[in-house]
Structure 1
Amino acid sequence: MTNLNTEIFDHDTDVDVAHKINTMELDNWINHLKYIKKELVNLISICSKDLKYKLGDDSVVERFHKKEVENETLLNALHKYSNSRSNIMECEDTECDMVFIKEHESYRRSYLYHLDKYRRLKDEFFNKVQGKFAFLSID
C-alpha cells in the first residue's frame, strides 16, 4: 500500500505504528514473491533442459511448476490485500483496526508457510543436483 505514509513519528499511536510496520512488511513480501517468481522461471528453465534427464526425475519440474502457480496466487492475493489497506485511514475505532491487524497476521502465516515450502523444495532440488554431479565427477 503506497498511499500510507510509512514514516513513523513520535506522535503516532501504537496502532498507527503497527499499521505502518505491517505496510512495510507487506511491501517486502510482495517484492520477495516477485523475486521468487523470477527464480522459479530460471529453475524451471534449467530443469526443462538436459538436467531433468540427468536427474532421472520429472517430478522436480512438475513441483516447480506447481510452486510457480502457488506463488502467483499468493502474489495476487497480497496485491489485492495491499489495495484493500487504503481503507485503514477510515478506521475510527479499535475494532476496525483489529480487523486489519488480524487479516495481516493471516497473510503473514500464509506467506511464511509458502516460503518454507518453497525453500524445502529448492533445497531438495539442490541436494539432488549436487548428489548427481558429485556422483558423476567420481569417474
Structure 2
Amino acid sequence: MTTLNTEIFSHDTEVDVTHKINTMELDNWINHLKYIKKELTNLIGICNKNLNYKLDDDSVSDRFKKKEIENDTLLNALHNYANSRTHIVECEDTQCDMVYINEHESYRRSYLYHLDKYRRLKDEFFNKMQGKFSLLKVN
C-alpha cells in the first residue's frame, strides 16, 4: 500500500483501509489549516484598520497573531507528518502499523484542539463586534 493511492479496494486489509482513510483525513486537515491561515490573515488585517480602538481591546489583533503562529506550527507539523507517512509501505508487522495509527490519533487530537480554540476565539471576536457596527440598510 502506498500513501498516495487512497482508493480503497476489496482486497485491502483493515489496516490498509485505516491507513488510506487516515491519509485522506490528513489531507483534509492540511487543506483546512491552509484556509484558516488565509482567514487569520484577513482577520488580522481587519483588526489592524483601527478596529482594536473601536472595540476598546488592543489584544484582539495580538490573539489572532498568536493563533496564526499556532496554526503555522501545526500546519508545518502535519506536513512533516505527511512526509513521514511515505514509510508506511515499509511496515512489515502490526506493531509498526500501530505506531503510525497511534501517531495519527495524536495528531487528530492536536488538530481538533486547535480547531476548537480557534473557533472560540473567532466567536468571541464576532460577539464583541456585534452591536459595535451598524449595517447600512439598502432600500
- In the superposition, the TM-score normalised over structure 2's length comes to 0.93
Structure 1 residue ranges, 4+ long, deviating more than 4 angstroms after superposition: none
Residue in 1 that maps onto 2:12: 12
- Decide whether the 8 Å contact of 2:3 with 2:19 is kept in 1: no
The answer on 1:107 being equivalent to 2:107 is yes
Deviation at 1:103, TM superposition (A): 0.1
Instruction: Structure 1: give runs of 5+ residues left out of the alignment.
Output: 135-139
Query: 3-state SS of the aligned residue for 2:30?
Result: helix
How far apart in 1 are the matches of 2:131 and 2:96?
A: 53
Residue in 1 that maps onto 2:22: 22
Residues 7-63 of structure 1 show CA distances to partners (whole Å, capped at 9, x for unaligned) of 000000000000000000000000000000000000000001121111010111000
How far apart in 2 are the matches of 1:3 and 1:93?
A: 17
The answer on 1:118 being equivalent to 2:103 is no
Query: 3-state SS of the aligned residue for 1:128?
Result: helix
Q: What does residue range 26-45 of structure 1 map to in structure 2 within 5 Å?
A: 26-45=26-45
Instruction: Structure 2: give runs of 5+ residues left out of the alignment.
Output: 135-139
Query: 3-state SS of the aligned residue for 1:131?
Result: coil
Q: Percent of aligned positions with the same letter in both sequences?
A: 81
- In the superposition, the TM-score normalised over structure 1's length comes to 0.93
How far apart in 1 are the matches of 2:121 and 2:79?
A: 25
How far apart in 1 are the matches of 2:95 and 2:131?
A: 54
Residue in 2 that maps onto 1:133: 133
Deviation at 1:132, TM superposition (A): 1.7
Query: 3-state SS of the aligned residue for 1:132?
Result: coil
Aligned residues: 133
Deviation at 1:133, TM superposition (A): 2.2
Residue in 2 that maps onto 1:94: 94
The answer on 1:62 being equivalent to 2:39 is no
Residue in 2 that maps onto 1:137: none
Residues 63-118 of structure 1 show CA distances to partners (whole Å, capped at 9, x for unaligned) of 00000000000000000000000000010100000000000000000000000000
